[in-house]
Amino acid sequence: MLHNVYFWLKPDLTAEQRATFESELALLPKISYLASGFAGKPAPTEKRPVTDHSFSYSISLLFKTMEDHEFYQKDCPDHKRFVDTCKTFWERVVVYDSSSLS
């Protein structure tokens, strides 16, 4: 199961707050039970009608099982720390969860 999250940070954050957000976000793809993970910013790709570069940061986490995802959402101390530390930094969050076709 692929968990994609897009964050729009508040424009008035300090450099220190942005650095805290970035360092906390970068820890999530390192969670041991993930198949893979990635954290980043909008890529400098060509602007096209179908491309959205408006978000500040994103994260993609590939879970091996739905149970792993449920643990992450409800009981993972790393996820809880990230939310508790950073929730005041964003003004919008959008989540797209996808299941494999196979």
The residues spanned by each domain of the chain are: 2-44+53-98
Low-confidence ranges of the chain (pLDDT < 50): none
pTM of the model: 0.94
Residue type for position 22: E
- Name the DSSP class of 12: T
pLDDT at 30: 97
User: What is the per-residue pLDDT across 61-71, written as a single tens digit (0 to 9) for each?
Assistant: 999 999 999 99
Residue 76, helix vs strand vs coil: coil
Q: Please tell me the predicted confidence (pLDDT) of residue 102.
A: 84
Q: Report how far residue 51's alpha carbon sits from residue 66's, in angstroms, rounded to the nearest whole number.
A: 29
What's the pLDDT at 37? Answer: 98
State residue 88's pLDDT score.
98
Fold assignment, 2-44+53-98: Alpha-Beta Plaits (3.30.70)
